[in-house]
Structure 1
């Protein structure tokens, strides 16, 4: 049996909630209430484990899963959306070289799976907005690219070629996404791979939020996973069954 520590964020009324499984960096569960988010967490963990298994990691998605709430952040702004202002204590630990390599590999796997998922999606499917409101698939992908660059810039400031790569995603349209997204990811992954010892441990203040290499990689993985699952659901193409 594997026991996972859960890091929660919601308002004080326990409405919209996100559960962060930091032992499986990138794995999250969401719900309209804290109770619903916690109920969905075991299956969210299994899905993430199946993702890792599909890419060759030795894990046991069918094993018994136990969880314990380690922290529940209830104060701050924009709660339930992935990045509460105070962050979580593990965010501020030095990012080890080993963890950096593992996280970059998992990020690359998500990106490969995302490109495969959208490979045969038509331009019409890319641009249509859901009837209940929200972004088109193309809008989601633009949002993912924008956020990805922001997380890196919060840590290391300017990155050569990154602005141009993001502009290409935004301006060259759906048909060019495999090329433009890959170009952007190549730049961000190369910069993360080249993080210095000082950059792996530095804490950087942006207003009320303190950023670190570990926090930036957490958000890249979680945000990528969140929207990979969203697009999979939108297309009715479930992954990692």
Structure 2
């Protein structure tokens, strides 16, 4: 199947899509011996795509990397940041290869963040059609009794309907209530915006599960480890 060159190059793990676009513009990419241009497509089953004269790494040639990070607050879920903010890439720089975040947690959120260089698994986990559950613990203030039926009922963001969330109420202490919210979409700051629509103020937000993989409680904030084979099987 034909796909844009920047997507093919990014999926190979060589660079990001933005980086691939820069390489294409610089004339470093060829398709079947012809210098490529932005917008060109290729099918790796029939076309030869070279970067600096070398073919893209093939799936069978590359050992993929899969990491679990306990993301702390104060870090953005990107590989680089034009504003100079701290990134999750800095936290996992010792893993020995270039990996990217599977989805995002906003700067003020914390908890489970998966990182990999496997494009196919990334697509499976973040595309809404696969309906991969994501569970968050959310500490809120406000009228929780009023908010619960709103959060678990029909809601919209950006003019689009949301799939119903699963919401459970936990303990309340000092006026702060803990909620468990399970969604399988990934709109920008979705859980925070849902809570705001329901009249709640989010004090803390922590992702604790993605699919059937849960955050390792032994991981301190900012620490990471490689996924086990059992965890990979669950994600796949």
Output the TM-score relative to the length of structure 1.
0.25
Q: Which structure: greater strand fraction? A: 2
Which of these two proteins has the greater Rg computed from alpha carbons?
2
Structure with the greater relative contact order (CA < 8 A, sep ≥ 6): 1 or 2?
1
Q: Which structure: greater helix fraction? A: 1
